Amino acid sequence: MKRLTGKVALITGTGGGQGRAAALQFAREGAIVVGCDVDAAAHEETHRLLQAEGFSLYGNAPVDLGDHEQAREWIMSAIKQHGRINILYNNASAARFGAVDKFSIDDWHYTIRNELDLIFFTTKYAWEHLAVQGGVVINIASTAAWGGSKVAGISAHAAAKGAVVSFTRQLAVEGAPQGIRAVSISPGFVRTPGTAAFVDDPKTRRALLDGVLQDRPGEPEEIVSLALYVASDEAAFMTGSDLVIDGGLLAL
């Protein structure tokens, strides 16, 4: 039997990068995948990729999860269609970067909204449904939660992702009596459509990979493989943890 057979997995940000990779890998392992994205065309492309392999991608786009009403509607539409939620995979995020003294108030609020608020909204509305049979919340954090950067101004990003790690621990405490597990994953620098320009620029690539022991960016599929394990029954004794997957960046 496949690792996620029959489980309903809600995955945010399925339009590309790690979200698209998650939609594909979770479907291959038997999950019923419900996705969403702010980019309707990108979400539709993921739908086509799953369809080509004989799978379905449920959900809709565009959905702005930073708007709590849209987040609630996305969750409720999944319940209406499938009757349950077994996995909530909070992958979607968006951030702005800059030195703290030059960072605008709008950019700060944008980052907190799109890296922290949206995780709270989806989790809040999914919680009672996860509790019915016991479920899993997977939150994507970042190594920015654990260390600063000399390359980019990450104050808002670091604050938001640090909060994601702490939020996840509290979810584990509150969820344990209801059979809900909660785990965060902190990737290092990963190759995605959003980071492609940095990966392809030799000077920027060298700076970003400085200190990464494996001297390469991660691939979306590598992060998703860890998430797949966390979502499966193989990880039944895991909750409240933050799992770092960074090519050795934090080892130094």
Express each pLDDT in 183-218 by its tens digit.
999 999 999 887 887 788 888 899 889 999 999 999
pLDDT for 195 = 83
pLDDT of 162 above 90: yes
Domain boundaries, the chain: 8-243
Q: In what order do the strands lie in the sheet with 32-36?
A: 57-60, 32-36, 8-12, 87-90, 136-140, 181-187, 242-245
The Cα diameter of the chain in Å comes to: 54
Whole-angstrom distance, CA of residue 112 vs CA of residue 185: 18
Tally Cβ neighbours within 10 Å of residue 187: 25
Q: CA dihedral in degrees (139, 140, 141, 142; nearest 10)?
A: 160
pLDDT tier for residue 252 given thresholds of 50, 70 and 90: confident
**8-243 belongs to CATH 3.40.50.720:** yes
Looking at residue 190, its pLDDT comes to 96
Region 92-115 average pLDDT: 97
Distance CA 190, CA 246 (A): 8
Provide the phi-psi class of 216: left if phi over 0, else alpha when psi is between -120 and 50, else beta.
beta
Bridge partners of 88? 10, 137
pLDDT band at 50 (very low <50, low <70, confident <90, very high): very high
pTM: 0.97
Mean pLDDT of 89-114: 97
- Kindly report the number of other CB atoms within 10 A of residue 64's CB atom: 17
For position 198, what pLDDT does the model report? 78
Distance between CA atoms of 57 and 175, rounded to whole angstroms?
Answer: 28
